[in-house]
Amino acid sequence: MLFPEIPNIPYRGGEDFLSFRWYNPDEVILGKTMKEHCKFALAWWHTLCAEGADMFGGGTADKAFGADKSDYMAYAKAKADAGFEIMQKLGIDCFCFHDHDLVEEAPTLAESNKRLDEITDYIKTKMDETGIKCLWGTCNAFSHKRFMAGAGTSPSADIFAYAAAKIKKAVELTVKLGGTGYVFWGGREGYETLLNTDMRLEQENLARLIKMTIQYARSIGFKGDFYIEPKPKEPSKHQYDVDVASTCNFLRAHGLMGEVKMNVEANHATLAGHTFQHELRAAADNGVFGSIDANQGDLMLGWDTDQFPSDVYSATMCMLEVIRAGGFTNGGLNFDAKTRRMSYTIEDIFHGFITGMDTYALGLRKACQLIEDGRIAQFAEERYASYKTGIGADIVLGKAGLVELEQYSLQREPQLPPSGRQEMLEGIVNCILFEGKPRMRRWNDVPPPV
Ligand code: XLS
Ligand code: CA
Ligand code: CA
C-alpha cells in the first residue's frame, strides 16, 4: 500500500474530512444507483503524471510514488499501483488514459510500443484483480515536438503517417484494456495563422485520419463509441473542433455523423464562450451526446485550468441534461482535473476527488428534485404551446409556407409572446438548490399572502 494514511472513503453524509457527504454510491435515485448515474473515472494524466509545473516553474508534487523515475518501467508500475489504490479507496470504477501517460515514450516507435505492451499487461492484471475498467483511451499526438504543427492536420505527410501509427497502437491498447470509448482530442489540430495554412486540406486530412481509425478499430473488434472532444483554443490559437456545433458541422461535412459522438468538457465549453449546459444540450439535440470531462475552468482566466469541479449549479444543470439525454451508455464522468500547484500532497488529490464526486452527487440529487418538482420543464413546454395547434401546428408539420403565413397575419396582429419569466425560474432553481423544497406548487400558482 502506497498511502497507508488514507482510508477507504466512506459515505457518511456528515462533514468529516475524507468521507462523502452527498455521494452514496448504492443509493437509488430515479431508478438507478448514484454510481450508475455518475460513472466516475480517473484521468491518468492529471492524477498520476501532472506534478504541477506551469510556464514559470517546475513541479511541486512528488508523483514518483516511491519509484526511481529513471527506471521507466518501475516508475510506470508505481503510477499504476498508485492509480489503482486511489480508485479503490474512492470507489471509482474507471480510468481514462493517453498512450504515454502509461509509460514514458521511447526514442523509437517500435520500442515505445514494446513498453506499452509491457505496462498494459501489468495494468490488465490489476484490472482483473480489482474489477476496475477502462472508460476510454486516447493518443497523445500533441506533446512531442514532431506534432508542433498538428498530427492529422500537419503540413508534413510523414507526421500524419506517424500520428496514424501512434493512434493505431492507442486503439489496440484501448481494445486490450476493454475500453468502452476512444477519444480524439485535437491537441494541435488547428492553426496559428491562415497565412501559412491550407484550412480545407487540413480538415479533410483530419477526417481521413478519423475514418481510418474507425475502420481499423472496428476491424479489431472495438465495439465502443468514438468521441471528439471540442475545444476552441489552447494550445493552438484556433482549434478546428471549436465547440459541439462546429464539430457537428465537421462530422456532417465528412459523412461522419452517426459514427462519432462528443466528449464534452466543462472547461472547454466555457473557453468557447458557452455554458457547459449549452454544450451538453447541443450534443443531445444533435444525437451525439457521449461522455463528459468533468472539471471546471476559472471564468476570470482565458485558459484551460482543469480544476476539480465544485460548482454545484453547473453540476446540477449538467446532470439535468444527462438525465434528459437518457443517461450514459458507454460514457461517464471523467475527472479531467488536477489539484492546484499549491495543493501538492496526496491528501489534496483525495480532497479533489471527494469534492468533485460530491459536487456531482449533489448536482444529481438537485437535478432529480428539479425534475420531480416539474415546474421548470412544464414552463418550457407551455411556452411553446402555440406550436401544438392551429397555425403553429401547420408550421411544424410543413403545411404552411410564406403565402399562408401572410394570409394568416393579414387577418390579425400578433400578441406579444408570453413572458419568459427568467427571474422566476432562477428563483425556483435557487429554492431547490438551497432549500431543497419547492416554493410554490406550480409555477403559476399565486403565492400565499404574507
Ligand atoms: C486537453 C484535453 C485532454 C483530453 C484528452 O485540454 O482536455 O486532456 O481530454 O486528450
Ligand atoms: Ca479533456
Ligand atoms: Ca482540458
Question: Tens digits of per-residue pLDDT, 350-401?
Answer: 999 999 999 999 999 999 999 999 999 999 999 999 999 999 999 999 999 9
Q: Using an 8 Å Cβ cutoff, are 359 and 309 in contact? A: yes
Catalytic residue (choose from 101, 241, 293, 358)? 101
pLDDT of residue 439: 52
Q: Which residues line ligand 1 (CB under 6 A)?
A: 98, 138, 183, 185, 229, 231, 265, 293, 304, 336
Distance CA 105, CA 85 (A): 24
Distance CA 129, CA 124 (A): 9
The answer to whether 225 is a known catalytic residue is no
pLDDT of residue 450: 42
The beta-strand segments (E) located in 296-434 are 333-335
Rounded distance from Cα 336 to ligand 3 centre (Å): 7
How crowded is residue 368: how many other Cβ atoms within 10 Å of its Cβ? 18
pLDDT in tens, the chain (450 residues): 999 999 999 999 988 889 999 999 999 999 999 999 999 999 999 999 999 999 999 999 999 999 999 999 999 999 999 999 999 999 999 999 999 999 999 999 999 999 999 999 999 999 999 999 999 999 999 999 999 999 999 999 999 999 999 999 999 999 999 999 999 999 999 999 999 999 999 999 999 999 999 999 999 999 999 999 999 999 999 999 999 999 999 999 999 999 999 999 999 999 999 999 999 999 999 999 999 999 999 999 999 999 999 999 999 999 999 999 999 999 999 999 999 999 999 999 999 999 999 999 999 999 999 999 999 999 999 999 999 999 999 999 999 999 999 999 999 999 999 999 999 999 999 999 998 765 555 545 544 444
pLDDT of residue 436: 73
pLDDT of residue 16: 87
Q: Using an 8 Å Cβ cutoff, are 403 and 394 in contact? A: no
The residue whose CA is least distant from atom 8 of ligand 1 is 336
Atom of ligand 1 nearest to the CA of 231: 6
Q: Which residues contact 238 (CB under 8 A, 6 or more apart)?
A: 190, 191, 192, 232
Q: Kindly report whether the global pTM for this prediction surpasses the value 0.85.
A: yes
Rounded distance from Cα 196 to ligand 2 centre (Å): 28
The residue whose CA is least distant from atom 2 of ligand 1 is 185
The residue whose CA is least distant from atom 7 of ligand 1 is 336
Rounded distance from Cα 268 to ligand 3 centre (Å): 6
Distance CA 150, CA 146 (A): 8
Catalytic residue (choose from 46, 98, 268, 274)? 98
End-to-end CA distance of the chain: give it in Å, rounded: 61
Rounded distance from Cα 364 to ligand 3 centre (Å): 22
The residue whose CA is least distant from atom 6 of ligand 1 is 304
The residue whose CA is least distant from atom 10 of ligand 1 is 185
The answer to whether 254 is a known catalytic residue is no
Atom of ligand 1 nearest to the CA of 234: 6
Distance CA 348, CA 354 (A): 10
Distance CA 118, CA 440 (A): 61
How crowded is residue 246: how many other Cβ atoms within 10 Å of its Cβ? 15
Rounded distance from Cα 158 to ligand 2 centre (Å): 27
181-184/133-138 β-pairing = parallel
- Torsion region of 223: left, alpha or beta (phi above 0 gives left; psi -120 to 50 gives alpha): alpha
To test the ligand 1 pocket, which listed residue (42, 49, 95, 138) has its Cβ within 8 A of the most ligand atoms?
Answer: 138
Q: Which ligand is nearest to the CA of 98?
A: 1
Q: Using an 8 Å Cβ cutoff, are 309 and 296 in contact? A: yes
The residue whose CA is least distant from atom 3 of ligand 1 is 185
Q: Which residues contact 55 (CB under 8 A, 6 or more apart)?
A: none
Nearest to 136 by CA among 166, 170, 103: 170
Q: In Å, what is the CA distance from 428 to each residue of 189, 251, 382, 389, 425? A: 42, 38, 17, 29, 5
* DSSP code per residue over 37-83: HH-EEEEHIIIII----BTTB---S--STTS-TTSHHHHHHHHHHHH
Averaged confidence pLDDT in the chain: 96
pLDDT of residue 230: 98
Rounded distance from Cα 269 to ligand 3 centre (Å): 10
Q: Residues of the chain with pLDDT > 70: what percent?
A: 97
Atom of ligand 1 nearest to the CA of 142: 10
Nearest to 332 by CA among 135, 163, 149, 99: 135
pLDDT of residue 449: 43
| Per-state percent for the chain, helix, strand, coil, to nearest 5 | 45, 10, 40
